[in-house]
Amino acid sequence: MIAIVDYQAGNLASVRKAFDYLGQESAITANPEAIAGADKVVLPGVGNFEATAALAGPLQAAITTAIEQETPLLGICLGLQWMFESSREAPQLRGLGLFPGECEKFPVEVKSPHVGWNQLQLRGASRLLHGLPENSFVYFTHSYRAPLVESTVAGCAYGGTFSAAVERGQLFGVQFHPEKSGTAGLRLLGNFCQL
């Protein structure tokens, strides 16, 4: 069972719908035991980094337990950002620090938020992105972005290049919305289900 972590940060129905379509059992849950015991964990989320404050405590403990058990974890959008150390959007909060660095705003030369379809620049082997062609289009909607790191498996160019996808071991994060990215997104979610 795939646990979709519910911390009241946006609409989780579309992530669930994509797993339904792929024939994978998933549940939207805020129950720490269900999260710690899940086969896979998805951490979605939209909006301000402040929303991740709701993860502090039992939910974070459950996610940490899942990570220690090497349960595959997929952070989407704000979920990916929370896997980094922090964000300038809410500097008083800490992320999980699974990937190094701080999320920051787009430079003033480009319009923000970054909304729409942009292309993936693949960097090295990735189980999550397996089968996705170079320059695949995926759907983004965000005002802050994560830096390029050693674990970046896809970058995206918009006012400079940022991390569109990161991957290390059983940890995966995507800044875009695979559940809204057409066939490329479904392929990615299918890869995650196969892990």
Partner 1 sequence: MLTKRIIACLDVDAGRVVKGVQFSSLRDAGDPAELALRHSLAGADEVVLLDISATYEHRSTLLDVVRRTACQLFIPFTVGGGIRSLDDAAAVFDAGADKVTVNSAALADPALIPRIAHRYGSQAVVVAIDALRISKGKTSPFGVKATGGRHSTGRDAVEWATEVEKHGAGEIMLTSIDRDGTRGGFDCELTLAIVNAVSIPVIASGGAGAAEHFVEVFRDGRADAALAASIFHLGVTPIGALKRELQAAGIPMRWPC
Q: Specify whether the backbone of 160 is left (phi greater than 0), alpha (psi in -120 to 50) or beta.
A: left
Q: Which residues does 128 contact at the CB level (< 8 Å), separation at least 6? A: 74, 153, 165, 167, 172, 174, 188, 191, 192
Helix count (H) and strand count (E) of the chain?
A: 5, 13
Span interacting with partner 1, options 30-38, 87-95, 133-141, 166-174, rule CB under 8 A: 133-141
Provide the annotated active-site residues. 77, 177, 179
Give CA–CA dist 143/17, Å, rounded.
Answer: 25
Q: Please say which residue, 44 or 71, places its beta carbon nearer to partner 1.
A: 44
Check binding of 9 to partner 1 (CB under 8 A): yes
Give CA–CA dist 132/128, Å, rounded.
Answer: 9
Check binding of 21 to partner 1 (CB under 8 A): yes
Nearest alpha carbon to residue 184 among 147, 141, 134: 134
Q: Running DSSP on this structure, what letter comes out for residue 168?
A: E
Whether the CA torsion 17, 27, 97, 68 is positive or negative: it is negative
Q: Please say which residue, 37 or 155, places its beta carbon nearer to partner 1.
A: 155
Check binding of 10 to partner 1 (CB under 8 A): yes
Check binding of 161 to partner 1 (CB under 8 A): no
Give CA–CA dist 96/70, Å, rounded.
Answer: 15
Give min distance, CB of 137 to partner 1, in A: 4
Are 177 and 76 a contacting pair, CB within 8 Å? yes
Tokens of 122: 């693949």
Q: Please say which residue, 108 or 125, places its beta carbon nearer to partner 1.
A: 108
65 to 104: interface string for partner 1, x by CB under 8 A:
----------------------------------------
Check binding of 131 to partner 1 (CB under 8 A): no
Member of 19, 158, 172, 176 binding partner 1 (CB under 8 A): 158
Check binding of 185 to partner 1 (CB under 8 A): yes
Give min distance, CB of 64 to partner 1, in A: 25
In the complex, which residues of this chain contact partner 1 (CB under 8 A)? 8-11, 13-14, 17-18, 20-21, 46-47, 111-119, 137, 139, 141-142, 157-158, 179-183, 185-186
